[in-house]
Amino acid sequence: MDSKNEYSGMTVNERLYVSGLSDGYYEAVKEKDIESAISILKAVDLGEENIKAILKFSGLIGDDYK
């Protein structure tokens, strides 16, 4: 199955849960490991703008992050 279709219509939390990456993502956020968090979010087919918004919401990055 194409991963784009696999996650279609799912929230970020649903994508993380279905993929088995929830614990890893929340641990990365807890440890403020931005690179790991980005890698996990990319693994569940999120685009750059969505990833940036999620990291900002999680307090991992500020407005000046590129």
CA distance 26 to 29: 5
Q: Which 8-state DSSP code applies to residue 20?
A: T
pLDDT class for 64, splitting at 50, 70, 90? confident
Higher-pLDDT residue of 17 and 66 is 17
CB 22 within 8 A of CB 13: yes
CA distances from 11 to 24, 31, 61, 63 (A): 17, 23, 21, 23
> pLDDT for 3-61, tens place per residue?
557 898 999 999 999 999 999 999 999 999 999 999 999 999 999 999 999 999 999 99
Q: What is the pLDDT of residue 1?
A: 46
Packed helices 12-19 and 22-30: angle between N→C axes, nearest 10 degrees? 120
